[in-house]
Amino acid sequence: MIKNIDHLGIAVRSLDEAISYYEQALGLSCNGREEVPSQKVRTAFFTAGDVHLELLEPTSADSPIAKFLEKHGEGLHHVAFATDDITEQLQKASKAGCRLLQETPLEGAGGKLTAFLHPKSTHGVLTEFCSMKTRNETESIPK
Which positions touch a copy of itself (CB under 8 A)? 1-5, 8, 10-12, 17-18, 21, 24-28, 48-51, 72-76, 79, 81-82, 89, 92-93, 96-98, 117, 119, 122-125, 127
Q: Could you give the 3-state DSSP secondary structure of residue 81?
A: strand
Nearest to 132 by CA among 141, 121, 119: 141
SS3 2: strand
CB closer to a copy of itself out of 84 and 138: 84
Paired sense of beta strands 75-83 and 127-132, if any:
parallel
Query: For 116-125, which contacts have Cβ atoms below 8 Å and span 24 or more sequence positions?
Result: 116/78, 117/93, 121/97, 122/98, 125/78, 125/79
What is the nearest approach in angstroms of a copy of itself to the Cβ of residue 73? 6
Query: Which residue lies nearer to a copy of itself by CB, 41 or 143?
Result: 41
Judged by CB, which is closer to a copy of itself: 76, or 140?
76
Cβ of residue 25: shortest distance to a copy of itself, in angstroms? 4
Rank residues 1 and 140 by Cβ distance to a copy of itself and give the closer one. Answer: 1
Query: Rounded to whole angstroms, how far apart are CA atoms 37 and 128?
Result: 19
Provide the minimum distance between the beta carbon of 142 and a copy of itself in the complex, in angstroms, as a whole number: 26
CB of 120 to a copy of itself, least distance (A): 10
